[in-house]
Chain A
Amino acid sequence: MKSLSITSTKDLLWKDSLTTESPLIRRLLIGTALLYLTFFLFIPLAAVFAEALKDGIVAYVESLLNEDALASIRLTLLVAAVAVPLNALFGVAAAWAIAKFDFVGKQILITLIDMPLAVSPVISGLIYVLLFGLQGWFGPWLADHDIKIMFALPGIVLATIFVTVPFVARELIPLMQSQGREEEEAAITLGASGWQMFVHITLPNIKWSLLYGVILCNARAMGEFGAVSVVSGHIRGLTNTMPLHVEILYNEYNAVSAFAVASLLTLLAVVTLAVKAIVERKTHFPTIVADPMSEVQTGSIR
């Protein structure tokens, strides 16, 4: 380890024997972590691509250009295109309300926003069956008026929205709470309208966290299986999203096609993580720069 040339900060960490564990324990810990990650993350990830390309690149491309596969990709993109903007909008509105105003039922709202994370996705789907299914509360009325929600696009979109509600809001609430209202108040005393305040002050202050929330929200919207599975009806080429399509192909022992579509979802995950890493660096960078200011601020609080 010592013979390796290491960058200066790492060098410091290694050399600081007063505050770190003994080399044996250090290596044991790092080794365990790496082994664990290899088994549970890296090998499965590699396996997806290996399986998908098992019969060569031609078979891989063919299974992606299959009509049903293309339909599932289109549907997934469409669902995400509806669910993500709606949840971004709701997330900003909810975070704004919670961070900047005091009102009755604030705690309840915060708890409600977290609910989709606490509830199993299958139950999230069943809620919609209970509401809009043929035997559901609104089922007969919807049937009378020839409106299809269950086993159709609206149901899939609704279930996806439900599952992905928390992502943007949860990302923004703590940030907006910690930023307080002072900058916004300063803006309105300077004559800014509510909209100008939002565009010029609020949005720039939350943009990186908002983007981060949107990325997570999008990843979940495209990858959601449980809730969508309950409401979709699994109609090939019509109501199958990518995760559902993967499952069907796999159940038909069409492993290559299943893994090919799965590899797209995996790629999405990898891209999401890469963007997330970049955005994370951006979200953390300004707070480091702003640190001297916050020091002064806390220093003045008695």
Chain B
Amino acid sequence: MSIQVDHVTKRFGAFVVLNDVSLHVQEGELVALLGPSGCGKTTLLRILAGLEKPDRGRIFLHGTEATNRRVTERRVGFVFQHYALFRHMTVAENVAFGLTVQPRSLRPSPARIQERVRELLTLVQLQAMAGRYPSQLSGGQRQRVALARALAVEPKLLLLDEPFGALDAKVRKELRRWLRRLHDELHITGILVTHDQEEALEVADRVVVMHQGNVEQIGTPDEVYEHPASPFVCQFLGDVNVFHGRAVQERNFPALPPLPDGELVAPVGTVDEREITFVRPHDLDLNRNRMNPAQVEAIVRYVLTAGSRVRIELIAQNSTQAIEVELTKERYRELNLREGEVVFVHPRRRQVFKILRS
């Protein structure tokens, strides 16, 4: 089912949760709504499900307007953040619920319902748990029950609200892959809400980055990560070092005192001469000697060698700004750095944004 969100605005009291949001999702796509808490992503998901009504704007599902269509008529599968399993029902009863409440004329026979429940529990690998109650399951198992329950009514659209939020890192990773495979098998349109950029980049076909009720950028994981449209996107997707500087050719790198607050930022190519530069830790390199005059001089403060890469925290000499650098183990060994040494920081890649005075 294709989805069209058309200039949707939603307020809770004076607080604008969604500000004129537009979005198009193609049939069969898996899209992630990514943003910090309070950015409006869950509200948008609930509007799509019909659990909230937009103040302005329209929703089209499969090409027809559904803004005022009731939840029960939308044929949407919704997986809640805390699963919302029916605690007084067994796993099998939970999964069967959507089928048993169908009007008698549409309802499958009890035998057929049982069969369908068995199929779904096999799909989510929980056949053995059919007779258990939700409280007897682990978080990851509950998550899969919730998914099976949502899939039972054969929804055309699957909406997942922070589906892996409450799980530990390892289970999360497994379930993520599993969801991706499931999606590829079922060809169902899916929208996933998350605040975890890694999750969004790994699972989704496209990522919608949201911030304070606005859509900041829509694109494939590569697009949003490699070509962020705004400083917010750049900062939200992964660690980043921020340098404030002036737009003198190749001389914007030395860290200058931070600019005053309250200024707008826009992509390069517009008005003013002030710029802000973002460099990811792994896009920075260190040298023992100054290679060009624009390099920042810094002191090595901490070296963290645990993990696949070495993380180094530096302090810039002239501004006391902290800089984070990530090196490969080989590069680190080659440099043979020690804490307290003076090095020069060299950016291999960076994102530059101009600052607009408001």
Q: Contact residues of A with B, CB < 8 Å?
A: 182-183, 185-193, 196, 200-201, 204-205, 286, 289-293, 296-297, 299-300, 302
Complex CA gap A302/B166 in Å reads: 10
Determine chain A's interface SS by DSSP, over half rule.
helix
Nearest chain B residue, comparing its CB with the CB of A182:
B84
Could you tell me if B87 and A297 are in contact, using CB atoms closer than 8 angstroms? no
List of A residues within 8 angstroms of B77 by Cβ = 189
Of B51, B134, B149, B162, the residue contacting A185 (CB under 8 A) is B51
Q: How far is the CB of A196 from chain B (nearest CB, A)?
A: 5
Cβ contacts B49-90/A at 8 Å (1 or 0 each) = 111000000000000000000011000111011101111100
Q: Give the contacting residue for A192; candidates B84, B101, B139; CB below 8 A.
A: B101
Q: Are A296 and B72 in contact (CB under 8 A)?
A: no
Chain A residues near B134 (CB, 8 Å)? 293
Q: Is B109 an interface residue (CB 8 A)?
A: no
Of chain B, the residue at the smallest CB distance from A302 is B37
Q: Min CB distance, B96 to chain A, in Å?
A: 10
Give 3 nearest A-B pairs by CB, closest first. A300-B166, A190-B98, A182-B84
The answer to whether B80 and A186 have CB atoms under 8 Å apart is yes
Question: Which of A189, A201, A299, A300: most chain B Cβ within 10 A?
Answer: A189
B88 touches A190 (CB 8 A): no
A289 & B166 in contact (Cβ 8 Å cutoff): no
Quick check: B153 and A191 within 8 Å, CB to CB? yes
User: What is the CB-to-nearest-CB distance from B19 to chain A, in angstroms, rounded to a whole number?
Assistant: 22
Task: State how many angstroms separate the Cβ of A32 from the closest Cβ of chain B.
Answer: 40
Instruction: Give every chain B residue within 8 A of A292 (Cβ-Cβ).
Output: 135
Are B71 and A188 interface neighbours, CB within 8 A?
A: yes
Can you name 14 extra interface pairs (CB under 8 A) apart from A192-B101, A292-B135? Answer: A182-B82, A183-B86, A186-B78, A186-B84, A186-B85, A186-B149, A189-B50, A189-B78, A190-B101, A191-B72, A191-B101, A200-B101, A289-B135, A300-B81
Q: Is the CB–CB distance between A182 and B80 below 8 Å?
A: yes
The answer to the question of B133 belonging to the interface, with a C-beta cut-off of 8 Å to chain A, is yes
CA distance in complex: A117, B243 (Å): 65
Whole-angstrom CA separation of A300 from B82 in the bound complex:
9
Contact B135 A196 (CB under 8 A): no
**A193 and B101 contact, CB distance less than 8 A:** yes
Instruction: Determine whether B232 belongs to the interface, using a CB cutoff of 8 Å to chain A.
Output: no
A173 vs B283: C-alpha distance in the bound complex, in angstroms? 56
Chain B nearest CB from A17 CB (Å) reads: 36
Shortest Cβ distance from A211 into chain B, in angstroms?
Answer: 15
A293 touches B87 (CB 8 A): yes
Closest chain B residue, CB of each to CB of A184: B84
In the assembly, what is the distance between CA of A293 and CA of B137, in Å?
A: 9
A202 to chain B, nearest CB (A): 11
* CA–CA, A138 and B150, complex, Å: 56
Q: Nearest chain B CB to A184's CB is how many angstroms away?
A: 9
| A193 to B71 Cα, complex, angstroms | 10
B51 adjacent to A187 (CB under 8 Å): no
Task: Give B80-127 interface residues, CB cut-off 8 Å to A.
Answer: 80-82, 84-88, 97-98, 101-102
B347 on interface, CB distance cutoff 8 Å? no
Contact A300 B80 (CB under 8 A): no
> CB < 8 Å: which of B72, B135, B142, B149 contacts A188?
B72
Q: Whole-angstrom distance between the alpha carbons of A269 and B281 in the complex?
A: 72
Q: Considering only CB atoms, which chain B residue lies closest to A189 in the complex?
A: B78
| Chain B residues within 8 Å of A182, by CB | 80, 82, 84
Total contacts A-B at CB 8 Å: 82
- Distance of A188 Cα from B71 Cα, bound (Å): 7
Query: In the bound complex, how far is the Cα of B101 from the Cα of A289, in angstroms?
Result: 27
A185-B80, A186-B80, A296-B166 are contacts. A290–B101 as well, Cβ < 8 Å?
Answer: no
Which residues of A lie under 8 Å from residue B82 when comparing CB positions? 182, 296-297, 300
Max chain A Cβ within 10 angstroms of own Cβ: one of B76, B87, B102:
B87
* A154-B82 Cα distance, complex, nearest whole Å: 49
Residues of B within 8 A of A201 (CB): 86
Q: Which of A186, A196, A289 contacts B86 (CB 8 A)?
A: A186
The answer to whether B87 touches A189 (Cβ under 8 A) is no
Neighbouring B residues of A185 by C-beta, 8 Å: 51, 78, 80, 84
| B196 CB to nearest chain A CB (Å) | 12
A201 to B84, CA, bound (A): 11
B153 pairs with A190, CB closer than 8 A: yes
- Is the pair B80, A192 in contact by a Cβ cutoff of 8 Å? no
Complex CA distance for A182 and B142, rounded to whole angstroms: 15
Closest CB of chain A to B90's CB: distance in Å?
A: 13
Task: List 17 contacting pairs A-B, 8 Å CB cutoff, sorted by A.
Answer: A182-B82, A182-B84, A183-B85, A186-B78, A186-B149, A188-B71, A189-B72, A189-B77, A190-B98, A191-B101, A191-B153, A192-B101, A200-B101, A201-B86, A205-B88, A289-B133, A300-B82
Binary CB contact string for chain B from 159 to 175 against chain A (1 if under 8 A, 0 otherwise) = 00010011000000000
Q: Is the CB of B88 within 8 A of A204?
A: yes
In whole angstroms, what is the CA distance A296 to B85 when docked?
13
Q: Indicate whether A191 sits within 8 Å of B102 (C-beta atoms), given known contacts A296-B166, A297-B166.
A: yes
Q: Which residues of chain B are near A286, meaning CB under 8 Å?
A: 87-88
In angstroms, Cα B80 to Cα A173, docked, is 23
Given contacts A289-B135, A293-B135, A187 and B88 within 8 Å (CB-CB): no
Separation of A124 and B136 alpha carbons in the complex (Å): 49
Give the docked Cα–Cα distance between A186 and B86 (Å): 9
- Inter-chain contact B97/A200, CB cutoff 8 Å: yes
Indicate which residue in A192, A205, A302 contacts B97 across the interface (CB closer than 8 Å): A192
Q: Are A191 and B98 in contact (CB under 8 A)?
A: yes
| Interfacial chain B residues near A205, Cβ < 8 Å | 87-88
Contact of B49 among A189, A297, A302 (CB under 8 A): A189
Closest to B46 in A: A185
Task: Assess whether A183 is in contact with B71, with CB atoms less than 8 Å apart.
Answer: no
Note all chain A residues with C-beta closer than 8 A to B51: 185, 189
